[in-house]
Each structure stands twice: as C-alpha cells, then as structure tokens.
Amino acid sequence: MDTGNSQQEQHQRALIQRICERDQSALELLYHNYYPRLTRFIGRYTWRDELIAEVVNDVMFTVWEKAETYNHQCQLSTWIFGIAYNKARQALRNINQYSEDSLEDIALDSMLGIQDSGLKQLEQQDLLESAFKVLSPDQRAVLELTYFQGLHYSEIAELMQCPENTVKTRMHYARKALSIELKQHADTFLNE
C-alpha cells in the first residue's frame, strides 16, 4: 500500500480534488490505480469471485459520489479500503452468506496467554489456501490488510470501524484457526 509514499499520496489526493470537480478522467486514473488491490481485497474477503466486479464498481461509484466527504484525516487508501470493506460486507449480507463471528469480539484480555504449536506443518500453498476458507470474512480481511496491503493495526481498526484490540483478536483467532486446520490436514495426510 502507499504508506510512507507521500508523493503517491499527494498525487492521489490531487485526483480526488479533480473528482470533486466531476472530472471523470481523474476517476479513471484512480480506478486503474486501485483496481488490482481492490479486486484482490474483495476477492479474499468475500471468497466469491462473482461478486468482485460488482463490488469494485460499487466502491468506485461511491468514491465518485462521496469524494467531497473525504476529510484528509486518514490516508486516501484507508478511506477507499474502508468503503471497500463496507461494500463487500454488504454484498455478503445480501446473499445471506455472512454471519458475524461472535468469538472475534471477545475481549483481548480474556485470551491472553493462549498459545499453540504454530504453523509448522505449513509446507504447501494450496493447503493453506484451502485453510483460509475456514476463516470468517473479517479474519481474512485482517490477514489480507496486514500482510498484503501492509497496514498497521490502528489503520485496520479505522478502516473496519472497530477497536484496535478487536483487530488484534481477529488476527489471533485467524492464526489459531489456521493452525488447527493445518494440523488436521497434516494428521489426515499422515494417517493415509
């Protein structure tokens, strides 16, 4: 992502200014700039390829409509990914595929001290890929925003509009769920 890249951020903010002035060519530039990252994020969040194109266009349509409401208090990318998160979440709700993971919001304090054996069995990419399916959309979002988009947890909390500890908790549960899933795969493989 563009953290630390002030030149790119300034360029994108100039694009937003032009979008406020209803310049469609500026929107097209911003669209091309964000298209790979948005398709990636929405695809990983929803785990449904057929939703990606529609949600990306919903996001950029909202950027076009709401550009004047961007207050420059956060990075532009955080603002746009926040819209993407909400649109993707809404899309999943609309097809009745999404349910909140109540475990995710358990207070961080109640979980301290929990450790596990880790991801030692991680050897094959496709194994992990299948393991990702067991995660909730919000857990996948935290993983994706951390390791693919490179965001700090405070930025993720701002984007997902939740407390910072919730982000940490989601990451922790994602790690545990992946560990358990991969261990089961490994046990099955060894018993065959």
Partner 1 sequence: MNDIDDSPYSTHEQVVFLLPWYVNNTLQAQELHAVTQHLKVCLLCKRELSNLRQLANAVQHSPSAEVAAPTLAFAQLKQRLETPPAQPSPEIAEVSTLSRAAKHRLLGKWTAPQVLALAASVALALVLPRILPWDSSWGTAYRTLSDAQVKPSAAHSLRVIFKADTAPEVLKSLLANTQASKVLGPDTQAMYTLEFNDDVAQPIILEKLAQLRQNAQVVFAEPNYGLVSQSTVLAQ
Per-residue contact flags (x/-) with partner 1 for residues 11 to 40, judged by CB under 8 A: -------------x--xx--xx--xx--xx
96 scored as a contact of partner 1 (CB under 8 A): yes
Q: Please report how close the Cβ of residue 113 comes to partner 1 at its closest, in angstroms.
A: 7
C-beta separation of 92 from 136 below 8 A: no
Q: Please report how close the Cβ of residue 71 comes to partner 1 at its closest, in angstroms.
A: 21
Residue 17 or 62: which CB sits closer to partner 1? 62
How many chain residues bind partner 1 (CB under 8 A)? 54
Cα separations in angstroms, 175 against 103, 169, 172, 192: 13, 10, 5, 26
Q: Please report how close the Cβ of residue 49 comes to partner 1 at its closest, in angstroms.
A: 4
Largest CA distance in the chain: 64
Which of 74, 99, 120, 184 is in the footprint of partner 1 by CB under 8 A? 120
Q: Residues near 99 by Cβ (< 8 Å), separated by ≥ 6?
A: none
Residue 11 or 153: which CB sits closer to partner 1? 153
Length of the chain in residues, anyone?
A: 192
17 burial via Cβ count (<10 Å: 0-12, 13-18, 19+): middle
Q: How many CA atoms lie within 13 A of 181 on its CB side?
A: 16
- DSSP letter, residue 134: T
Binding positions for partner 1, rule: CB under 8 A:
3, 24, 27-28, 31-32, 35-36, 39-40, 43-44, 49, 52-53, 56-57, 60-61, 64, 90, 93-94, 96, 108, 112-113, 115, 118-120, 122, 125, 128-129, 132, 143-144, 146-148, 150-155, 164, 168, 171-172, 175, 178-179
